[in-house]
Amino acid sequence: MCGIIGINSNKPVSSTIINSLKKLEYRGYDSAGIATLYDGLIDEVKSEGRVNNLEKNSLVQSMKGTIGIGHVRWATHGLPNSINAHPHSSQYVSVVHNGIIENSTLLKKFLISKGHNFKSQTDTEVIVHLITENLKTENIVNSIKKTLKSLQGSFALGIVFKDQPDLIVGARRGSPLAVGYGPNENYLGSDSYALKSMTNKITYLNDGEFCIIKKDHVEFFDEDGVKVNKKVLELSSEEKSYDKGDYKHFMAKEIEEQPTTLKNGIKEYIDNSNNDINIYNFPWKTNEINAITLIGCGTAYHSCLMAKYWFEELTSLDVSIDIASEFRYRKNRFKKNSLYVFVSQSGETADTYAALDLCNQNNMKTCSIVNVIESSIARDSKFVLPIHCGTEIGVASTKAFLGQMLILYIFALKIGLLRKDIIKEKFTEKIKDLKTLPKLVEQTLLTDNKIQTISTTFNEAKGSMFLGRGFSYPIALEGALKLKELSYIHAEGYPAGEMKHGPLALIEEGMPVVILAPRDSYYKKTISNMQEVIARGAKVLLITNKSKDEVISENIWEKVEVESTNDDLLPFLLTIPLQKLAYYSALKKGYDIDKPRNLAKSVTVE
């Protein structure tokens, strides 16, 4: 979480920093701030809430500095108010920070004993005073090196100095940070998205590195303060500026973009001339792999859970899934014949990156499925499968979820064919069905009006449940998560067969329950579970697929039918009405759909 921008230029930078912070607001929107250097002083302005609040401040509008740093915050230590907002400054130093300093309490005690006074509740402020203290006896490079070695935890830092009006220092450990290059000015940013509007030439800092950014050149150092050479990468210019267009929210746009997301993914991976899947440069022979572990967080974890069913159906691999935040703290027994697959929209998810790093330390086979190919997870994986879904701004993931599922399904199909776990004829048939998926999703999006009406009942309830079996179970989890994220309504996803083992006690008269019951091999069992909750007073929303056979409809409150396809692909279609249900529930409540409370898009802290 949190977003950092820094600019060293020969012209005033405040308006450019504000515009860049708006692009970074998906990383945090509790508070925002900016600091510039002008006339030998640090000029700092901060505000609670969104960047718009900061922009309206007359003090920001009058800032004249040509060098500055800015920050959008997702609160960890301290309330989300203007005092705790970044930058944090002393008389000599101003700092913006993404991450968590785990030994901040001990450092604060030490610094207070040295006469330093603290204003905020944040862990970040110890960095300011530590640098200030070290500058008493050290030059810039040595003071930074000494400060960084004192810090435990994760950080991306942007630092300016009152007595050094020609430079910005950037540093990283655990949290991403990039340097951008422009004509007569250079930049610091927590990701490429904020920098793309200014430059397409970027260098990424590795863990432990720091840099000194001047207007005309940048110097990089390792953790020991030794200069290192870094490559300048040129970012793809495919993605143009991304705005809402005629949509009220980015999420609404991103839901409607899902047919295009699927088309792009299919175009990238499917060879139409011979109905094959192109996955180039896969670095291992498939007979060297007999197990696969799928790792992710949140929505990405749900895509992993979905993929488990596909890999089990289409391959003979042993398949396991793991929540990234749990994986790194367990005593893992790594095996050389295992493939570890890491799924992340941003490619910067801290828990997922830490799990990847642990696997790399043990020299495991690592593959990532990400939407940002320049990200830390992509760069440090031994093989990458991009999602190709384009920029996703809404905090609650929609098109990236379908993109993750698509690539995981394609990957499972290809592995199954290479290992001869499925025959060529079956593989070809599934590829043929896959090509129809974008059109089926497009048709399923037309369930709009009915979902709008249904959403009112969920808003009036104190809680709800989402039930499914087999392929539908991960989608039930994802549907419940979306409703929680956007509408702040308590919702739980369960395997439908588990209701009688405890959760059935929660069912009461009028409680809305979503039953995902496509006409697959689990259909009859799921319908039986549906009757169990109906008998206890639940209002059932049945989501199934179209069929000539009439579904059992007695006592069902509402029914939504998606298009029909093979069982493997039905989860893509079942997802659509659940996304819309969450969207319209939040819309009717008047909530901020693109930026739900307490959440951020890129989760870069543990």
The three state secondary structure string of 322-374 is EEHHHHCCCCCCCCCCEEEEEEECCCCCHHHHHHHHHHHHCCCEEEEEECCCC
Burial class (CB in 10 A: 0-12, 13-18, 19+), 521: exposed
Active-site hit among 308, 482, 539, 601? 601
Distance CA 105, CA 108 (A): 5
CATH number at residue 380: 3.40.50.10490
Residue 133 DSSP label: H
Residue ranges making up the domain that contains 452: 446-589
In a domain, residue 294? The reply is: yes
pLDDT of 27: 73
In a domain, residue 483? The reply is: yes
pLDDT of 586: 95
CATH number at residue 79: 3.60.20.10
Distance CA 534, CA 556 (A): 8
Query: Does one domain contain both 157 and 209?
Result: yes
CB atoms closer than 10 angstroms to residue 238: 7
Query: Does one domain contain both 415 and 277?
Result: yes
Query: Does one domain contain both 186 and 280?
Result: no
Query: Does one domain contain both 338 and 255?
Result: yes
Q: What is the pLDDT of residues 459-500, one digit of tens each?
A: 888 899 999 999 999 999 999 999 999 999 999 999 998 888
HSE-CB of 6 using CA atoms within 13 angstroms: 33
Distance CA 303, CA 134 (A): 47
Query: Does one domain contain both 286 and 415?
Result: yes
Q: What is the pLDDT of residues 116-147, one digit of tens each?
A: 999 888 888 999 999 999 999 999 899 999 99
Query: Are 370 and 400 in contact, with CB atoms under 8 Å apart?
Result: no
pLDDT of 39: 87
In a domain, residue 264? The reply is: yes
In a domain, residue 373? The reply is: yes
Distance CA 52, CA 72 (A): 11
Query: Does one domain contain both 322 and 209?
Result: no
Return the bridge partners of 165, or none: none
Query: Does one domain contain both 430 and 454?
Result: no
pLDDT of 550: 65
DSSP class per residue in 1-19: --EEEEEE-SS--HHHHHH
The single residue listed with the structure tokens 């409150």 is 557
CB atoms closer than 10 angstroms to residue 116: 17
pLDDT at 539 over 70: yes
Last residue of a domain, one of 376, 407, 435: 435
Query: Are 180 and 198 in contact, with CB atoms under 8 Å apart?
Result: yes
Q: With H, G, I as helix, E, B as strand and everything else as coil, classify residue 156.
A: strand
Query: Does one domain contain both 403 and 468?
Result: no
Hey, CA dihedral for 555, 558, 562, 567, is it positive or negative? negative
Share of the chain above pLDDT 90, in %: 62
Q: Which of 36, 7, 37, 30 is nearest to 20 (CA)?
A: 7
Kindly give the residue spans of alpha helices, DSSP state H, lying in 135-249: 140-150, 192-195
Structurally, how many domains does the chain consist of?
A: 3
pLDDT of 238: 52
Distance CA 374, CA 381 (A): 11
Instruction: Give CA 21 to chain center in angstroms.
Output: 18
In a domain, residue 604? The reply is: no
Catalytic residue list contains 211 = no
Q: What is the pLDDT of residues 280-329, one digit of tens each?
A: 889 999 989 999 999 999 999 999 999 999 999 999 999 999 999 999 88
Query: Does one domain contain both 429 and 453?
Result: no
Last residue of a domain, one of 415, 435, 455: 435
Average pLDDT of the segment spanning 275-284: 91
Average pLDDT of the chain, as a whole number = 90
Q: What is the pLDDT of residues 48-69, one digit of tens each?
A: 888 888 888 888 888 888 999 9
DSSP class per residue in 497-544: GGGGGTGGGG--TT-EEEEE--SSTTHHHHHHHHHHHHTTT-EEEEEE
Question: What are the residues whose beta carbons fall under 8 Å from the beta carbon of 491, sequence distance 6 or more?
Answer: 463, 464, 465, 466, 479, 480, 481, 483, 484
Q: How confident is the model at residue 240 (pLDDT cuts 50, 70, 90)?
A: very low
First-to-final CA distance of the chain: 10
Strand order in the sheet with 512-516: 491-495, 464-468, 512-516, 539-545, 558-562
pLDDT at 187 over 90: yes
Distance CA 477, CA 243 (A): 29
Active-site hit among 2, 211, 359, 367? 2
pLDDT of 111: 92
In a domain, residue 182? The reply is: yes
Distance CA 8, CA 66 (A): 6
Question: What are the residues whose beta carbons fall under 8 Å from the beta carbon of 253, sequence distance 6 or more?
Answer: 244, 245, 247
In a domain, residue 602? The reply is: no
Residue 445 DSSP label: G
Q: What is the pLDDT of residues 502-514, one digit of tens each?
A: 888 888 899 999 9
What burial letters (b/e) apply to 390-414, b meaning 16+ CB within 10 Å?
bbbbbbbbbbbbbbbbbbbbbbbbb
Catalytic residue list contains 601 = yes
Query: Does one domain contain both 202 and 114?
Result: yes
Residue 174 DSSP label: B
Distance CA 269, CA 271 (A): 7
In a domain, residue 606? The reply is: no
Query: Does one domain contain both 99 and 150?
Result: yes
Query: Does one domain contain both 338 and 369?
Result: yes
Q: How far is CA 161 from CA 95, 196, 425, 500, in A?
A: 9, 26, 67, 63
